[in-house]
Amino acid sequence: MAKARVGLYAVQGEALTRTHKSCPKCGPGVFLAEHGDRRSCGRCGYSESKGSPVPKAKPAKAPSEPKAAAPRAPAPAPPAAP
């Protein structure tokens, strides 16, 4: 029995499934290394994140505003003294 590359394949019944994803740049012969939250190709340096497409990227709201910016809610005008 031929021995598959350890860790790269998993035999489930008669089906041979790849446990590692192949690199989209290098092709199906190159597998991506599994990391905690991402995969990377040791050949071309390609990397991708697991799970959600953008796990770390925060929603792009307004860029950091300078501290000197005017407050969002203007203070109420003082009552006019008679």
- Cβ-based nearer residue to Zn ion, 9 or 26: 26
Q: For the segment 10-29, give every residue that binds Zn ion (CB under 5 A).
A: 23, 25-26
Which one among 18, 19, 44, 47 touches Zn ion, defined by CB under 5 A?
Answer: 44
- Cβ-based nearer residue to Zn ion, 9 or 46: 46
43 near Zn ion, judged by CB under 5 A:
yes
Contact 40, 32 (CB under 8 A): yes
41 near Zn ion, judged by CB under 5 A:
yes
In angstroms, the Cα distances linking 58 to 3, 7, 51, 52, 53 are 44, 34, 15, 12, 12
